[in-house]
Every structure is written in structure tokens, then in C-alpha cells.
Structure 1
């Protein structure tokens, strides 16, 4: 049985890198959820604890069924493309 993947984008308003990632996923009809950190530093604290970063975008790819997520924390679309190629080969 194939498990569905969830994609979560941690972003903030006015972030051009965040918008680039969202546009890339939308063009490929890949659904995602967004966590907006714009006015909530507590969310940045969560990123710091989980991944050691406070910047956005951070893209989590994983499964709510298993609770296992891998994060793309490096800035640049090429890092997301590599992660998608591993997790969603038909979309790369």
C-alpha cells in the first residue's frame, strides 16, 4: 500500500523564496499546507528545535500516518527538486 505524502511549507509574508516554492508546487499540482510564521515567533522556535534553523522557507515532506518528516532547510528551488525526486519521482 502506498502511503500519501504531506508537504508543509513554513513561510512568511513577503518572502520571495517562499512564493517561488509555492508556485513551483502549484504548477505541478502538488498539494501542500502552509504554516505562516509572519507574526508568530513561537513557530520559529519550533523550527529551531526541530531543524536548527529559524529562517523560512522550510519544506517538510513526510507522512502524518507515520509522523516521519524530512525537511528541506536549504534556500533554493534545486534543494526542493532533489527532495521531490526522491519522494515523488513522477513530479521531479
Structure 2
């Protein structure tokens, strides 16, 4: 599986939903705390200006937020994206 990174904050229900979906699929992920200002700025640059959390990356692909990842799952496109 490709490396999955998810930028999150502590009190974000969409972050929790994204992590829950990945856990249900058995996907390991690296959680990055976006509460830190420098980390948040790096996330915004990497996510093409998107400031909301979560921001999810699969390998080098920017998936977007939870709604974006859930839409990929509904269309059957998330599993292929996760594969090497």
C-alpha cells in the first residue's frame, strides 16, 4: 500500500471520520498535527491553498478532505489509489 498522510487537528469530527474510514479499511496512516502554525502553513502549500482539515495524501496524490475521500470510496476508486 502507498503511504497515507492525514493532516488533522484535535477537535475535528471530519478528521475522526477520515481516520475511522481508513481504519475500517485496514489502512495504516501517518497523522500530522496541523495545530502547529508552521505545520499548518506547510499543509496549505502542499494542499494547493486548502486550509481546512483533514487534508489527506495517498503517496504523492492529494486526495483532499474527508468528503473527497468518501466520494472516492463510494465510486470504488479509493482501493485502487491505495495500491502500489
Question: Normalised by the size of structure 2, how large is the TM-score?
Answer: 0.79
Tell me the alpha carbon deviations over residues 30-85 of structure 1, each in whole angstroms, 9 at most, x when there is no partner.
Answer: 110100112x01111112222211211000001xxxxxx11122441424525524
**Which structure ranks higher in relative contact order (CA pairs < 8 Å, sequence separation ≥ 6)?**
2
Mapped to 1, the partners of 2:80 and 2:41 lie a distance apart of 28
Aligned length: 79
Look at both structures and tell me which one has the larger radius of gyration over its CA atoms: 1
Structure 2: gaps spanning 5 or more residues: none
Q: CA RMSD in A?
A: 2.0
Question: Normalised by the size of structure 1, how large is the TM-score?
Answer: 0.73
Greater Cα shift, 42-51 or 20-29: 42-51
Would you identify which runs of 4 or more consecutive aligned residues in structure 1 move more than 2 Å?
A: 77-83
